[in-house]
Amino acid sequence: MGIINAVKLIYDYVTKDERGDVENVTSAIRGVDLDIQAGQFIAILGHNGSGKSTLAKQMNALLVPTGGTLTVKGMDTSDEKNVWNIRQTAGMVFQNPDNQIIGTIVEEDVGFGPENLGVPTKEIWDRVYDSLKRVGMMEYCDHSPNKLSGGQKQRVAIAGTMAMKPECIVLDEPTAMLDPNGRKEVIGTVRELNQKEGVTVILITHYMDEAIQADQVYVMDEGQIVLSGTPREVFSQVGRLKELRLDVPQITELAYELKKEGFPLPDGILTAKELEDALIRCKEQGYHVKAKSGEAKHVDKDRTS
């Protein structure tokens, strides 16, 4: 059994009126089976409202199943006794950096987690500096968090989670609010934690290119996992992903479009290098496109003039 294991997981949001009678039940998760091995890098995709965040919140017992079970390192999240240990095992980072930073100085903020766990003072400082070094934010340890960029704030938030020494971190759209540089910083940091420190990473994202590097991609729809596999397996299903309100990385889309035009390209091209090589092979084989006379070329926007 993996570090995170879900069996027939169900979660219903129940709204009640003033008298406590059930008004409405919304099923956010409808029978998810999941087994994530320690040390893996997992990406979870899915449109808004598909249940991704609800699933993420199960992983550190912010929400507990209304049906089925979810275990973190063998601990059942439904058992209240386990809550603290679960949260120490699986840390979370949310979308908006401003909503999760509470300290007035960076090092204070990072120390908040371990302090809550009752870690001795000396060790708190060790952990704070160690975590800040790991996310590359040590030089900002005595800065005020509100002067940092979005990417830097997210790295501080990740350090705050790392200071609790989790074996697994769950990141819920950590780059949605960041500029391209901030996104690169955060994804780079997360990948390094995964590869160098062996931390299990569960990344929820709407950016398809961030999912390319994952070991395994899960796609959710209507509270269920509808597609899973390696990034190549998942992203080769361009049509199906579009039905699920998702997208594919630009390179994959370009390859897909060229293939529709008749180019002899393999399925599931993910990287620029793969597409370049495949196109070079087309050239070497003497592949030729027949000119369609009279067809307008740049229909999109005329930027050539």
* Residues in contact with another protein by the rule CB under 8 A: 46-50, 95, 149-151, 173, 176-183, 206, 208-209, 242, 245-247, 249-251, 253-254, 257-258, 261, 263, 272, 275-276, 279-280, 282-283, 287-291, 297-301, 303-304
Query: Smallest gap, in angstroms, from Cβ of residue 130 to another protein?
Result: 27
Residue with smaller CB distance to another protein, 139 or 179: 179
- Residue 33 CB, shortest distance to another protein, in Å, is 23
Query: C-beta of 8: minimal distance to another protein in Å?
Result: 25
Residue 10, amino acid: I
For 17-139, strand residue ranges (E) read: 22-36, 41-46, 67-72, 75-76, 90-93
The Cα-based distances of 206 to 95, 105, 190 in angstroms read: 11, 31, 16
Between 36 and 244, name the residue whose CB sits nearer to another protein.
244
CB of 84 to another protein, least distance (A): 30
Specify the DSSP element, H or E, that contains 21: none
Q: Which is nearer to another protein, 165 or 245 (CB)?
A: 245
Neighbour-count burial for 258-286, b at 16+ CB within 10 Å, e otherwise: bbeeeeebeebbbeeebbeebbeebeeee
Least Å distance between CB 113 and another protein? 25
**What distance in Å separates the CA atoms of residue 134 and residue 59, rounded to the nearest whole number?**
23
Nearer to another protein, 126 or 253 (CB): 253
User: Residue 73 or 153: which CB sits closer to another protein?
Assistant: 153
Burial class (CB in 10 A: 0-12, 13-18, 19+), 296: exposed
